[in-house]
Chain A
């Protein structure tokens, strides 16, 4: 539950490096979880405008959808809130197989 080691694949360090390289990026963060969620509140995924990403907000279940919306957020410059769960109509595509629900906040990084 504590912030673990400061390593090469740390999403926020990757985010900073990408911004320094001039890439346009967004950061996605798990802000709420219900039931069994694969990644805890506070987990980060960083995405660039090309759809490259590092980190995780789930065990790989919803990253695709988050990346898709993050690219939009980078273009629009506006943050957005996403919600995923098995009750979703789109569950088959981007649901959490573990049965939990998560809210993911996606925000572009402005320079």
Chain B
């Protein structure tokens, strides 16, 4: 491996860009391709498939064996609202190996005691959310019920291309939210992608059951829409 390839690989990973490294096992020759550079490569179908599945492995080809290693950014979950549902959602998200960040400016909710061991910010989303936190490998759920807190992160998540954006609230609450987001200049098509009512319809009744429904909906989106191979 060439030193410059190692550097480029680490740069791509640090920037959370999906990248593939292809090694010709006969010769040791390597090449690095960002997910945006795969088109036209002699192994394009194989590389694309592996970027989509997130799985590395050896491909046997007439030109010899190639090891295709894909580096996919870890999947993040940003939760707006340090509420009861979030207390149930946090351990589920952790078990599913999501990188979890919780944001709630209300210090009565965002206490270390309630969220011990989790990344918790008792700040306004405006102060925390930025391009390094929101990207296509991030899911955002807003569960405070408070437009002053929820609206900004919903808009920011849609703009950042987060693969899942969900908001708690009844259909009536959501209709008002849609009107506010339209007023704020958010595109109708983008607004239509917000999951609300939030979570798969499993008849969830308790905070823990709602958390399960939310997590299931996020995973469904992640696994069924080639999010892992998404490129930006």
Within 8 Å CB of A92, what residues of B?
Answer: none
Is A86 interfacial (CB-CB < 8 Å)?
no
Give A42-96 interface residues, CB cut-off 8 Å to B: 42, 78-79, 81
Within 8 Å CB of A1, what residues of B?
Answer: 54-55
B54→A2 contact, CB < 8 A? yes
B9→A12 contact, CB < 8 A? yes
Is B13 interfacial (CB-CB < 8 Å)?
yes
Is A98 interfacial (CB-CB < 8 Å)?
no
Interface of chain B, helix or strand or loop or mixed?
A: mixed
B14→A109 contact, CB < 8 A? no
Known: A16-B6, A105-B23, A109-B6. A2 touches B58 (CB 8 A): no
Chain A: number of interface residues, binned into ranges: 20 to 34
B1→A42 contact, CB < 8 A? no
B73→A19 contact, CB < 8 A? no
Using CB atoms, name the residue of chain B closest to A111. B3
Is A37 interfacial (CB-CB < 8 Å)?
no
Known: A6-B14, A12-B9. A109 touches B73 (CB 8 A): no
A5→B99 contact, CB < 8 A? yes
Smallest Cβ distance from A34 to chain B, in angstroms? 12
Give B91-131 interface residues, CB cut-off 8 Å to A: 97, 99
A-B residue pair count with CB separations less than 8 angstroms:
67
Within 8 Å CB of A32, what residues of B?
Answer: 57-58
A12→B6 contact, CB < 8 A? yes
Smallest Cβ distance from B92 to chain A, in angstroms? 17
Within 8 Å CB of A12, what residues of B?
Answer: 6, 9-10, 13
A110→B25 contact, CB < 8 A? no
Within 8 Å CB of A21, what residues of B?
Answer: none
Q: Mark B50-77, 1 if CB is under 8 A from A, else 0.
A: 0000111110000000010111111100
A105→B25 contact, CB < 8 A? yes
Distance, CA A78 to CA B9, complexed state (A): 21
Where the two chains meet, the residues of B that have a C-beta atom closer than 8 Å to any C-beta of A are: 1-3, 6-7, 9-10, 13-14, 23, 25, 28, 54-58, 67, 69-75, 97, 99, 228
Name 17 interchain pairs, CB-CB below 8 A, sorted by A.
A2-B73, A2-B74, A3-B72, A3-B73, A4-B97, A12-B9, A15-B6, A19-B3, A29-B69, A32-B57, A42-B70, A105-B67, A107-B28, A109-B1, A109-B6, A110-B1, A110-B2
Where the two chains meet, the residues of A that have a C-beta atom closer than 8 Å to any C-beta of B are: 1-6, 12-13, 15-16, 19, 27, 29, 31-32, 41-42, 78-79, 81, 105, 107-111
